[in-house]
Every structure is written in structure tokens, then in C-alpha cells.
């Protein structure tokens, strides 16, 4: 198997406007490569194109130019082959937790009883045991995001792409979810592409961090995070990490207009 799980080659993308001059260019010949098992974050300010990148990789949008490769192959039909977790949990309010989590399995044609069995086996680990017959409106924000992540895991893909999954959570739940996500990643050996506007979150979680620092995005600034694993949130106080954080914030400021 190819070492590269995801590759963007000279990818360009714009949104159409009513007139030509209203075209909104988001990416211009952008390159990016992510290896098997890496935890990568992409940081950019609001409106810089993070969710657009998410939609391009998952196949909800197609690039105007360039190629997107999954596991070394150019793939135009990416829908369904990348596990993803969107910004909002997108749980179906009329389905129980069990039925929500089983959805990707049912879509693959797995019988309901078998799908439920697979979900039941994961409930404990996802901190959802006893909640399987409850409905999304009865769960806390952190629980909903764990259901959403369970669904991503059950999709079975080796690449998971998460678009600001914790941005709606309160600070304490968010920290707990970050630590929990790292445990999950270390155990499952998947590749994660994590999209966020939070520099601290990116540094805590990732092997490498890429920054969107211009519009349209032409190149990504890359930093390697100099921390061992397993990590602790206190590691963010390491002087090298603080320096990196300042550097990243400076990169982001290039574009942010208050």
C-alpha cells in the first residue's frame, strides 16, 4: 500500500459568481501530502476555505484543476471513501443513538442486526453505554460529537477528516474531547486530518500543522510539532511550543482583518 493516504496535486478551486469578476478563488495550485498514520491539522481563520477543503477531499465538491489522490490513486469519486465528521454533528433527530451510529454500516448493505451488534461493541469505549436508545436532543454536546465520531470510525476508512469538530463545545468538554480523540487515534492507527481555527488545539493534537495564510491559498506553511507522545495538555507550556504558537499566530494575522 502507498504510504501517502491523501495527496493534493496542484488543486485549484473557486466559487462561481454572477459575473466573472465575482468569482471567489479559494485554492490556487495547492499541493499537500499526508502519510499513513499521521495526525495533521490545518489551521486557518474563519472564511479562509477550511470547510471548502473538507468538501473537496470528501468529494462534495470537485476541483477546477489538479488531482486529489487517495491511497496513491487519482480518485474523482471520493464520496463515501473518506470517513468524515462535519462541523455540526448532523445526527438525525428522529433516530436513536444506536440507529444514528449504525447508519454508515446500513448504507454499506450490512443487515440491521449485525450493524447494531457492531455499534453495541463500541458503546462503552465511546462513553455512550446506556445511551443507545436515547435521541440526539437528550445528549450533551460532547456525547453528540462522540456519536458523530463513532459513525466516522464505523465508516471503515483509513483516512478521517474532521472539520472543527469541537468548536461548539465549552472549554472543559473540549479539552476532554481532545485527549479522548488522541487516545482513539493512537489505538486505531488511522490517519486524521483535523481542521481547526485554534492554534493550541492544532499543536496539542498534531504531528504536523499546516497554515492557511493567504487568499487564495497557494502554499501551506508547515510546522512539525516537537512533542513526544503520549501528550498532556501541560506540554503546551513547553518553550519551544510557545515559540511555535507565536509563529503560527503571526502567520494567521497576515490575513485576518479585524
Where does this chain bind ligand ADP (CB under 6 A)?
A: 15, 24, 26, 44, 46-52
Burial 186-204 (b: 16+ CB within 10 A, else e): eeeebbbbbbbbbbebbbb
Q: Which residue's C-alpha cell is 461493541?
A: 121
Biggest alpha carbon–alpha carbon distance for the chain = 55
Binding window for Mg ion (CB under 5 A); candidates: 47-55, 92-100, 142-150, 178-186: 47-55
Among the listed residues 144, 142, 141, 162, the one whose alpha carbon sits nearest the alpha carbon of residue 96: 144
- Closer to ligand ADP by CB, 52 or 158: give it: 52
Distance of closest approach, residue 246 Cβ to ligand ADP, in angstroms: 22
Distance of closest approach, residue 163 Cβ to ligand ADP, in angstroms: 7
Selected from 51, 152, 178, 251, the binder of Mg ion by CB under 5 A is 51
Q: How many residues does this entry show for the chain?
A: 258
- Closer to ligand ADP by CB, 37 or 216: give it: 216
Distance of closest approach, residue 168 Cβ to ligand ADP, in angstroms: 14
**Ramachandran bin of 20, using left for φ above 0, alpha for ψ from -120 to 50, beta for the remaining angles:** alpha
| Number of C-beta neighbours around residue 254 at 10 A | 13
Q: Nearest residue to Mg ion, using CB?
A: 51
Which of the listed partners (ligand ADP, Mg ion, none) does 48 bind, with a CB threshold of 5 to 8 Å by partner kind?
A: ligand ADP
Residues engaged in binding Mg ion (CB under 5 A): 50-51
Amino acid at each position: 500500500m502507498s504510504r501517502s493516504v491523501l495527496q493534493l496535486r496542484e488543486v485549484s478551486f473557486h466559487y462561481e459568481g454572477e459575473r466573472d469578476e465575482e468569482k471567489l478563488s479559494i485554492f490556487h495550485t495547492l499541493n499537500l501530502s499526508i502519510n499513513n498514520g499521521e495526525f495533521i491539522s490545518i489551521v486557518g481563520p474563519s472564511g479562509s476555505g477550511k470547510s471548502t477543503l473538507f468538501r473537496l477531499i470528501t468529494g462534495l465538491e470537485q476541483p477546477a484543476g489538479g488531482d486529489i489522490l487517495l491511497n496513491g490513486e487519482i480518485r474523482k469519486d471520493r464520496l463515501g471513501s473518506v470517513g468524515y465528521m462535519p462541523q455540526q454533528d448532523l445526527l438525525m433527530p428522529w433516530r436513536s443513538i444506536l440507529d444514528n451510529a449504525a447508519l454508515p454500516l446500513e448504507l454499506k448493505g450490512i443487515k440491521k442486526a449485525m450493524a447494531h451488534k457492531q455499534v453495541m461493541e463500541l458503546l462503552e469505549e465511546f462513553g455512550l453505554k446506556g445511551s443507545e436508545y436515547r435521541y440526539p436532543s437528550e445528549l450533551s454536546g460532547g456525547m453528540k460529537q462522540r456519536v458523530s465520531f463513532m459513525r466516522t470510525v464505523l465508516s471503515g476508512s483509513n483516512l478521517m477528516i474532521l472539520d472543527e469538530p469541537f468548536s461548539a463545545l465549552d472549554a472543559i468538554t473540549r479539552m476532554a474531547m481532545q485527549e479522548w480523540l488522541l487516545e482513539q487515534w493512537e489505538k486505531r492507527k488511522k490517519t486524521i486530518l483535523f481542521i481547526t481555527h485554534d492554534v493550541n488545539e492544532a499543536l496539542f493534537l498534531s504531528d504536523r500543522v499546516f497554515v492557511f495564510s493567504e487568499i487564495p491559498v497557494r502554499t501551506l506553511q508547515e510546522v512539525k510539532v516537537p512533542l513526544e507522545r503520549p501528550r498532556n495538555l501541560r506540554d503546551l507550556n513547553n518553550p519551544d511550543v510557545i515559540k511555535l504558537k507565536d509563529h503560527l499566530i503571526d502567520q494567521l494575522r497576515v490575513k485576518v482583518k479585524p
